Chain A
Amino acid sequence: MYGRALAPLALGTAAASAVAFGLVFFYAPLDADQGFIQKIFYLHVPMAIVALLGFLAGGVMAAMHLRTRDRVWDMRSYVAIHLSIILGLGVLVTGSIWAKASWGHWWVWDEPMLVSFLIVFLLYAVYQPLRFSIDDPGRQARYASVFAIAGAAFTVLNFVAVRMAAAYTHPRVFSQTGGNMPADMFLTFLVSLGAMALLFATLWTLELASKNAAERLRRVRRRLEREAEHAEAGERLARPEPAPPIRPAAASR
């Protein structure tokens, strides 16, 4: 089901990543203000955008699950959120490295963009413990879906609030009128974003293919066990019933 899309996606990701890498280090000019350290931008920002979009996609898929009651949508939502958490961790670590190089600090608590992303990340860090604390699979999927929808709404709200707040030190590169950078840098950024989105799609498909195969295998195992039980019961019925053992009469008091 998912395996067929995997090979073209993986090839596309490898090609796009190679092109992005070449553009970042051999084509895009050095930033006049930050110099070579600005190369982290082509990794950090696409990762943050794809992670946030992954959280949103997880919410949309969760809504599809609640609407259709099809467990496939819940699994898709779970994998999207799970991958976004991993990318989110990457965003926080690469952001810290960039902050240390640019601002001299690993973390700046009065910077809304950083703190808001940390809050979104911590919110979603609760998703997995919440999900796996519920044993009943139906309830687990329903509760996780409700959480995913609320989390997606919170992510949008958080993003809009930060954009509306006055930025202190975090640079605002993108505005409604477009990218605030030269064309060659913008092209490099777009290719990097495309490569990151393709990587997300590939890993999402890979994990779904693995989960789907595991689920089918479990079903085959259950079916085989049931068949074995039926065959055993049939054999027992076909055998003549042994005569009940003769019990000694109860002793009278």
Chain B
Amino acid sequence: MPALPLESAGAYVAAAYIVFLALVVIYVAIIGRKVGRLERELTELDDVTRDRER
């Protein structure tokens, strides 16, 4: 097949790079949610230990 013109090729190249970026962003967002949950649990534990010390 002959090389695609720049306009059509550009759309395919952009799509490939956007797919990759989306995968990385979704992955980081999932890890971020997990870290948020950890932070909440840590706050809960901190409150429990503080109550016990009183």
How many B residues touch the partner, as a band? 20 to 34
Q: Is A40 an interface residue (CB 8 A)?
A: yes
A94 and B34 contacting across the interface, CB-CB below 8 Å: no
Determine chain B's interface SS by DSSP, over half rule. helix
Q: Which of A165-223 contact B (CB under 8 A)?
A: 199, 203, 206-207, 210, 213-214, 217, 220-221
**A44 interface residue, CB < 8 Å from B?**
yes
The reply to whether A43 and B1 form a contact with Cβ atoms under 8 Å apart is no
B1-25 CB mask vs A (1 if < 8 Å, else 0) is 1011010111011011101100110
Interface string of A85-114 (1 = CB under 8 A from B): 011011001100110111110000000000
Q: Is B42 an interface residue (CB 8 A)?
A: yes
How many chain A residues have a CB neighbour from B under 8 Å? 35
A43 & B12 in contact (Cβ 8 Å cutoff): no
Name the A residues within 8 Å of B24 (CB-CB): 199, 203
Least Cβ distance of B49 to chain A in Å? 7
A35 at interface (Cβ–Cβ under 8 A)?
A: yes
- Chain A residues with CB under 8 Å of B49's CB are 224
Chain B residue at minimum C-beta to C-beta distance from A39: B13
Query: Contact between A43 and B20 (Cβ–Cβ < 8 Å)?
Result: yes
- A143 CB, nearest partner CB in chain B, Å: 24
Pairwise interchain contact A37-B31, C-beta atoms closer than 8 A: no
Nearest Cβ in chain A — how far from B1, in angstroms? 6
Which of A37, A199, A221 is most buried by chain B, counting CB atoms within 10 A of its CB? A37
